[in-house]
């Protein structure tokens, strides 16, 4: 399986990092070894001094597909959760300044924390899903899909132009404004609406 991630999918997040707001999805990949599940603890990596959380909604691909038309894209995912894309911001900044690939700042082992998936139902308004992240019981990041630059279906369609989507692939759909640092000892909880789908300790 692969993890497909979307960068700068919320305008305010792009602006807080002083990046241009994109006109089409920015896609990057993470390997399976980046995945951390089942509320296991996250161990702060030794190669960074500036680790940031980025809370996102995550889709699970339920059907194999390539060159998927946007109007049919909703047939290709069936479950959703919240997740955290951990970023070694100091490494990313140095690599970007040199114009180099920045995978080591994003795709390192256990950098992609995923909560419990729940089924997508007809009652869900996918254009108006709220989610939030708490750090030590304080809300530090909030988002809503109505503020996304590119919808779930647009992301599916766009990504499938370049990569075949396979059952079990995960799609991180972008983080809203409010990213920030974590430290050893922090306790993180992520909610989709009122449902707590992810909670774990940073060690």
First-residue to last-residue Cα distance in the chain? 27
- What predicted TM-score, i.e. pTM, was given to this entire model? 0.94
Domains of the chain: 3-34+51-202 (3.90.850.10)
Rounded CA Rg of the chain: 16
Per-residue pLDDT of 78-119, as tens digits, reads 999 999 999 999 999 999 999 999 999 999 999 999 999 999
Which residues does 187 contact at the CB level (< 8 Å), separation at least 6?
135, 136, 137, 199, 200, 201, 202
φ/ψ (deg, to 5) at 147: -95, 0
Q: State how far the Cα of 132 lies from the Cα of 144, in Å rounded to an integer.
A: 9
SS3 51: strand
Per-residue pLDDT of 28-85, as tens digits, reads 999 999 999 999 999 999 999 999 999 999 999 999 999 999 999 999 999 999 999 9
């Amino acid at each position: 399986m692969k993890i497909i991630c979307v960068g700068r999918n919320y305008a305010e997040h792009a602006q807080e990092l002083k990046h241009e707001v994109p006109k089409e999805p920015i896609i990057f990949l993470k390997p399976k070894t980046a995945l951390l599940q089942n509320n296991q603890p996250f161990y702060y990596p030794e190669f960074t001094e500036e680790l940031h959380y980025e809370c996102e909604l995550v889709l699970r691909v339920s059907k194999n597909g390539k060159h998927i038309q946007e109007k049919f894209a909703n047939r290709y995912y069936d479950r959703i959760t919240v997740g955290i894309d951990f970023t070694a911001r100091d490494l990313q900044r140095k690599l970007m300044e040199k114009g180099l690939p920045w995978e080591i700042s994003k795709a390192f082992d256990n950098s992609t924390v995923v909560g419990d998936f729940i089924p997508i139902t007809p009652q869900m308004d996918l254009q108006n899903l709220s989610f939030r992240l708490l750090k030590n019981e304080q809300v530090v990041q909030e988002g809503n899909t109505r503020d996304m630059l590119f919808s779930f279906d647009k992301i599916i369609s766009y990504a499938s132009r370049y990569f075949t989507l396979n059952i079990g692939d995960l799609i991180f759909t972008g983080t809203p404004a409010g990213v920030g640092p974590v430290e050893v000892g922090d306790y993180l909880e992520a909610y989709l609406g009122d449902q707590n789908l992810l909670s774990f300790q940073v060690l």
